[in-house]
Amino acid sequence: MSILTLQGISKRYGVVQALSGVSFEVPAGSVFGVLGPNGSGKTTLLGIVTDVLKADSGNFQLFGGPASGAARRKIGTLLETPNFYHYLSAWKNLEIAASIKQRGKDDIARVLKICGLYERKDTAFKTYSLGMKQRLAIASVLLGDPDVLILDEPTNGLDPAGIAEVRVLVQQLADSGKTILLASHLLDEVEKVCTHVAILQKGQLLLSGPVNEVLQRNDFIELAAADNQALAALLLQYPDCTGATVTGNKVVATFAVAPDPAAINSWCAGQGIWLQQLQLRRKSLETAFLELTHTSAQ
């Protein structure tokens, strides 16, 4: 089942085309990352889904039906950090948030425990670390136990400790069965917490789907022998080898399928070339992303 289905969503601000015909589906139970640099249209897209903004064209469905008020009440949204009162405790701030959202105040203890803040429930907000403040913001989103969470850049502006805290919390929420739609410009965040991703660039959807399919990171092998030129020429004869290039004092070989280092070593020896180095490596996520965005920009 798809929690959210977007069909041809477009939005323009004057001469700026913020979104252009964006379509994708968010599967139930996924952590779906909307990935792109600042200005790519991520926040605009989330604003449309949460009814803060209106699309110029296109439509979307929630839970397989129209985007009704009843459907939106199943969604918890964090588009910007709430304006908590610095001199009030976490508990008092959530009481105010519950009143505004018309959620039950009897849910406050539960969400504070989920977010690891129950022991600090009576402490003033101003004494919280950045990570704790963001976890309290997520606690506010969890009031009423929504099925779906929409989080816009939840780790933005946090220090490394705060980033780690929020990522662990997001993973725990996903493990509990929540569907999470998460906008981010951080590749590392997508790799560590997301199951699916849609990549936006200047309002255009480049690709969407499972992370390991969209951001393909094919294995490659670094090798060395007494004669690297001869080794490179030999490797081009190896089944499924798609390229072999001498780089510095080694040969970098790529393959159409996942390579088997032991089989390659044995094959080279059988051809009279003894390897001095053989190491399986993987393309970095950053390289895969840059290759995708660069190709799409051409």
Give the chain's radius of gyration (CA, Å).
24
Element (H, E) at 197: strand 196-201
pLDDT above 70 for 286: no
pLDDT of 211-256, one tens digit each? 877 776 667 899 999 999 999 999 999 998 999 999 999 999 988 8
Contact 161, 129 (CB under 8 A): yes
Q: Which domains does the chain have, with CATH numbers?
A: 2-214 (3.40.50.300), 219-282 (3.30.70.100)
Give me 63's structure tokens. Answer: 């839970």
Q: Could you report the per-residue pLDDT of 14-37, keeping only the tens digit for each?
A: 999 999 999 999 999 999 999 888
Q: How confident is the model at residue 284 (pLDDT cuts 50, 70, 90)?
A: low
Are 4 and 77 a contacting pair, CB within 8 Å?
Answer: no
Report the alpha-carbon distance of residue 44 to residue 141 in Å, rounded. Answer: 19
